[in-house]
Amino acid sequence: MRSPEPAFDLRAALSREVRAAIDEFSTSADDPAALHRCRVRLKRARALARVGRVCAPGLAAVFNDSARSTMHALARARTAAALEQAALKGAKKADKKSQAAALAMVAKSLESARLAVAEDAQSVHAAMRDLLALAQVWPEASARQIRKGAQRIARKARIAFRHGAGSHDPERRHEWRKREKDRAYAALLLDDAWPRARRNKTGDKLGEALGEERDALLLMAQIAAEPGLAGDEKAAARALTALNRRRAKYARRAETFGALLHREGA
């Protein structure tokens, strides 16, 4: 029997997020901030598709794979911009002038790399139009199905938290970050249809901390592989020391907000 509760309009919400991604990309495809907003919209759409997996598992798998491929096409420019910003933030917060100078040099090197990245705008735009077509044929989901899909996302976030919190494994931390983003986006977009405590502010703070930690880790790996980004080996070592301090700060912050979010089963 169909649930008497009013169902969340998944098809409309999913279509809205993909349209917003297309708009962001169409208006400023060469703007790192617009590319970031575009990718956020696609991440939000993927979270909704995971909620809708219960009523359309095959369609959800195709949508997720297509969205992931589209995001990968945008990733080079976005990653270069994110690492450049991580270097600039690290330079501002560095304890020593030598560390700040080394990170400023890294930022300058990454700026050149970012400007050299050219994405195939036409194919990315076509891929997002295909995503919109998939969103528009999503079957109607009942309130029970929406609730079941949301509970699945919440459960995956709790599992990722248990595995990732306190871990020094970058992949476990990254998996935790991805599952928390899914939970946060789904809770925000479903609003009253989300079956648990939403805790949007705490979720946002957790996501920010895990994101800053991830950017610091990626930048450290890049500097370790290419010390010349900082100028020379000594400068690279100074940059890595400052970045590791920043990474540890945000890792601790993530532990705090993660424990707070999941204390009562969010």
- Phi, psi angle pair for 95, to nearest 5°: -75, -30
The answer to whether residue 67 is domain-embedded is yes
Q: Which amino acid is at 248?
A: A
* DSSP, res 118: -
The answer to whether residue 197 is domain-embedded is yes
Domain extent, residue 124, equals 10-262
The answer to whether residue 31 is domain-embedded is yes
* Tens-digit pLDDT profile for residues 91-101: 888 878 888 88
The answer to whether residue 3 is domain-embedded is no
Q: Token pair for residue 207?
A: 């996501």
Instruction: Give mean pLDDT, residues 132-139.
Output: 96
Q: Which amino acid is at 194?
A: W
The answer to whether residue 155 is domain-embedded is yes
Q: How confident is the model at residue 1 (pLDDT cuts 50, 70, 90)?
A: very low
The answer to whether residue 4 is domain-embedded is no
The answer to whether residue 18 is domain-embedded is yes
Q: What is the pLDDT of residue 205?
A: 96
The answer to whether residue 1 is domain-embedded is no
For 46-55, 70-79, 180-189, which range has the lowest pLDDT when averaged over its residues?
70-79
Give the CATH number of the domain where residue 20 resides: 1.40.20.10
Only one residue has tokens 């100028």, namely: 231
Q: What is the pLDDT of residue 33?
A: 78
Among the residues of the chain, which ranges form H helices? 10-27, 32-51, 57-93, 97-116, 121-136, 143-164, 170-190, 200-225, 233-262
Q: What is d(CA 152, CA 163) in angstroms, rounded to the nearest whole number?
A: 17
* Angle of CA points 195, 58, 40, to nearest 5°: 60
Tally of structural domains, the chain: 1
